[in-house]
C-alpha cells in the first residue's frame, strides 16, 4: 500500500489529522517535500484560516503542480475544510481570490440572518445526496463537526455528495472519481469521522 501524505503549507490542524489516521491504524506523513507528495499513494489537503493566505502559500511553496498532478493521476485525494474550498474557481473571502479551479464554482459567505451565528461552529447533520465510498456504511443524517464562515457553491451539482442545513442547505461534501473533499472536519467528528478517514486510507 502506497503512503498517505498530509500536505503542510502552514495552515491546518495537521497533527490532529495525523493522530486520527494513526488511531485507525494508518500512519501518515506530514510533509512539504514536493517529491514525497509526487510519490504519495494518497494525499490529504487540510486547512484552517483565510483562503487568500492559503492559496498564496500553496503557490509560494510550489505545491500547486504536484497537487494537480496527483489528482489527475487518479490517485485518491481528500480535501478538508479550507482544503475543499481551495479546489474551486474563486473565493469571495476578504475580496476576490482565484482558487485551483478544479471544480467550477465559488466560495461564498453565509448570509447574515437574525439569530444565525457566523461562523457555523459545532455538530450538524449531514444528508447524503450521492453516497461516496468514504460514507459506504455511514448512516444518513449522521452528525459531523464544522467550523467555517464560508461554503462552496458548485456550478456542477453532479459532484455534490452531501448537504447540510444552516439554515438553508449548503454543500458539505463533494466527490468526483478519486477526489473527495469535506467542509466538515472528520478528524474532529469522533466515530463517523474516523470511519471516513479509515476508508480513505484503505482506498
Using the 8-state DSSP alphabet, how is residue 66 labeled?
H
Structural domain range at position 34: 4-201
Sign of CA dihedral 9, 58, 65, 181: positive
Give the number of domains in the chain: 1
Phi first, then psi, for residue 54 (nearest 5°) are -65, -50
Mean pLDDT of 156-170: 97
- pLDDT of 181 > 70? The answer is yes
Is residue 47 very low, low, confident or very high in pLDDT (cuts 50, 70, 90)?
A: confident
As given in the structure block, the three cell numbers for residue 122 are 459545532
pTM above 0.85, yes or no: yes
pLDDT digits (tens, 9 = 90+) for 13-28: 799 999 999 999 999 9
Is residue 12 very low, low, confident or very high in pLDDT (cuts 50, 70, 90)?
A: confident
Mean pLDDT of 152-172: 98
- pLDDT of 1 > 50? The answer is no
- Residue 167: is the preceding peptide bond cis (ω within 30°)? yes
pLDDT digits (tens, 9 = 90+) for 66-86: 999 999 999 999 999 999 999
Question: CATH number, domain at 40?
Answer: 3.40.50.880
Find the helix or strand (DSSP H, E) in which 165 lies.
strand 160-165
Please report, in angstroms and rounded to a whole number, the separation of the first and last CA atoms in the chain.
9
Residue 63 to residue 33: CA distance in whole angstroms: 9
pLDDT digits (tens, 9 = 90+) for 92-144: 999 999 999 999 999 999 999 999 999 999 999 999 999 999 999 999 999 99
Using DSSP, state whether 65 is helix, strand or coil.
helix
Kindly state the greatest CA–CA separation across the chain: 50
Q: Which residues are catalytic?
A: 81, 185, 187
Amino acid at each position: 500500500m502506497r503512503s498517505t501524505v498530509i500536505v503542510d503549507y502552514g495552515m491546518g490542524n495537521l497533527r490532529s489529522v495525523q493522530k486520527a489516521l494513526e488511531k485507525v491504524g494508518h500512519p501518515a506523513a506530514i510533509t512539504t517535500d514536493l517529491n514525497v507528495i509526487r510519490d504519495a499513494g494518497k494525499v490529504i489537503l487540510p486547512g484552517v484560516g483565510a483562503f487568500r493566505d492559503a492559496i498564496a502559500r500553496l503557490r509560494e511553496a510550489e505545491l500547486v503542480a504536484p497537487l494537480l498532478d496527483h489528482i489527475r493521476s487518479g490517485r485518491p485525494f481528500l480535501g478538508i475544510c479550507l482544503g475543499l474550498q481551495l479546489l474551486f474557481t474563486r473565493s469571495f473571502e476578504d475580496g476576490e481570490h482565484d482558487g485551483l479551479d478544479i471544480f467550477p464554482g465559488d466560495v461564498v459567505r453565509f448570509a447574515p440572518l437574525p439569530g444565525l451565528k457566523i461562523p457555523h461552529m459545532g455538530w450538524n447533520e449531514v444528508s447524503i445526496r450521492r453516497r461516496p465510498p468514504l460514507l459506504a456504511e455511514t448512516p444518513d443524517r449522521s452528525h459531523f463537526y464544522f467550523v467555517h464562515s464560508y461554503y462552496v457553491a458548485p456550478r456542477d451539482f453532479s459532484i455534490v455528495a452531501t448537504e447540510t442545513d444552516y439554515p438553508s442547505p449548503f454543500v458539505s461534501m463533494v466527490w468526483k472519481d478519486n477526489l473527495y473533499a469535506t467542509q466538515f472536519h472528520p478528524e474532529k467528528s469522533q466515530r463517523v469521522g474516523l470511519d471516513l478517514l479509515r476508508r480513505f486510507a484503505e482506498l
